[in-house]
Structure 1
């Protein structure tokens, strides 16, 4: 009960969509009654001459006998079969129109929705306690009260109309059959119009009422809303573990690339960036690993272990760390600085291999000031100060 009282939040689109999949859509019986009675009546009135002629022929055929036909022992059986098929040919189109009108009214009230789930067995509905609860719910009382009021109103309209036109029906008994049928049909048509007007009023009220009741039944509590968000977005803890696992795998792949790097540029205590350049396959040097703090120390140790040169160039290390990502080429504005460092490393390797002279000390590396995070822009002076 407390949970039902807490359901004061409107249903989400996801819950409404799931409810439609389960067959929970707005359906108006009054709109269906209006469609069948009003639409069916309109069809009968529109094709009244054709129907009257067909009925006249069937009646004439059914009442026509002669001595030759009566001499046949199974004449009544054959005549009954012929009349039955003839009546079916008349009634089947009318029935098809009624089915079409019923389907159209359902689509107009709640839209097209095809699902087999309502036909699946649900043993929970066999629970008498839950059944009693549904019987005495406010929604059920509303539906029963509306149905009783509609029945009383239609019955009252019909009785009042018959009382006013009792003379017309009485006079029809003294008329020839065609005239009697015409007068009776006209009298019934007037009554049908009154009933249709009453059904129009009820349908105008019932269609939005059914939509309101469906949305009210689907209202959600704060806990249900949170659970739906978790189901839609995924459990936060699980997602955090997945992200941590992905970061760990990326870290392992990145560290595996350090031994193949050409050099590592470091800020002595904070940043380390490993660079690699392959002439012919790369258009520019590429960052194969980078890290800060403990990860930077790990990159440095791994580089020294595999004899990869490690250079202490704080401004360049900070600029590369701040402006590049792993497996990304060095920005064009840092080409000159990186090229100077690579040239120095290549000369150093050649000298150590006995293929050249030992290079001089590395000249000062110039890094654009705006690419070094250590160069914070100075605060603008107050013009009034």
Structure 2
């Protein structure tokens, strides 16, 4: 790759962004995750703490209560201990579930849901000390490090101011009754946590757009990468031609099942076969519902005969329909007259077989515009 490929100054294409997403590379804001986990965790503790402390108080009273019945039953203490453990386990489980769900939702909110196991796969290149050293001094790492240092300094400054301002109040709590002291220390700790969450909120408001910018900057492409992606998107012309041919063959093969619905089949007499259907109530013009060449043409002919569908020999019309009409589409308007002649003959033949009219004579030889005949085109090209 040339040197210009390293000058990535073009925005990433949708294809590259999708590929990066499939590989698990999306912008994630750690500050948003920290804010969500700490905030929801603190609120959960505030909600659960009174309930847990009330159960703890009751259990403590029970644990230190002894009477004659308690002394006779050796398993009483184990039962009480089991009740206390159950309360603790249930509270811890609820707290863990809430915090885990919050962490997942925060990650999804910043970068969306990504279903990829690739980031979890072992990658030996991560053990390369040279690449690791290069990543340490990358633009993204430098910005992230500067952001973390700044955030740490702000948190330390806010914590120092908060502790200095409230330390005198905390020291006087030893002179107050326990209930009042506990309530005041709870309010003081709650205020400190709220102040910390406010700092994290401001940091998250900066970090979310910052991570989006860094991710887009990392995904930028060079001119050479854009050219290569364009070539990959266009694909190899020969491969695309083979794929289209294969798709046509599959489509034609699947159309075999529609032959029993045809009004007639026209052949050439062995190379091409085209099945035509016309319903004047639902169709504007006759349609080709099945067509094929060589062996596929033989299958169409045999299937039509097994369902008593007329098979007519009209080489020029068969070639024109095969070359110019698409499956389940109206035939070209230039072939309306030729197909109408054959349909009229088929209708008379059906009426005669039902005893509603005389048997028609020889099948018609419809006139087909020469410009629609592939043989005429080949001959014209050979003369040129």
Q: Give the TM interval when normalised to the shorter protein.
A: 0.5 to 0.7
CA distance in structure 2 between the aligned counterparts of 1:212 and 1:191, rounded to whole angstroms: 32
* Residues 17 and 219, structure 2, Cα contact 8 Å, conserved in 1: yes
Q: Which residue of 1 is the match for residue 101 of structure 2?
A: 100
- 1:314 — aligned with what? none
Task: Specify the alignment match of 1:156 in structure 2.
Answer: 157
Give the SS at the match of 2:119: helix
Distance 1:121 1:260 in 2: 58
Contact preservation (8 Å) 1:22, 1:117? yes
Match of 1:306 in 2: none
Match of 1:38 in 2: 39
The reply on whether 1:229 has 2:230 as its aligned counterpart is yes
- The CA distance in 1 between the partners of 2:61 and 2:201, in whole Å, is 39
2:4–2:224 CA contact under 8 A, matched in 1: no
What is the CA distance between 1:60 and its match in structure 2? 4.1
Q: State the 1:51 CA deviation.
A: 3.6
Alignment of 1:155-234 (within 5 A): 155-234=156-235
| Change in 2 beyond 3 A, CA 1:330/1:126 | same
**Change over 3 Å in CA distance of 1:180–1:287 after alignment to 2:** same
Q: Give me the TM-score of the superposition, normalised by structure 2.
A: 0.61
Query: Contact (CA 8 Å) 2:37, 2:103: kept in 1 or not?
Result: yes
Counterpart in the other structure of 2:147 = 146
The Cα RMSD (Å) is 4.5
Structure 2 partner of 1:122: 123
Write the distance in 1 (CA, Å) between the matches of 2:44 and 2:240: 61
Choose the corresponding residue for 1:331, options 324, 334, 358.
334
2:91: which partner in 1? 90
Output aligned runs, 1:6-17, within 5 Å: 6-17=7-18
- Structure 2 distance, partners of 1:112, 1:139, is 23
3-state DSSP of counterpart to 1:49: helix
**1:135 to partner: Cα distance:** 1.0
Q: Distance in 1 between matches of 2:48 and 2:96?
A: 14
Tell me how far 1:165 sits from its aligned partner: 1.0
Shift of 1:116: 1.4
Q: Which blocks of at least 5 consecutive residues in structure 2 are unaligned?
A: 249-266, 273-308, 343-366, 370-384
**Which protein shows a greater Rg?**
1
Distance 1:184-1:219 versus aligned 2 partners, 3 A rule = same
1:58/1:140 Cα in 2 relative to 1: closer, same or farther (>3 Å)? farther
Deviates more, 1:230-239 or 1:174-183: 230-239
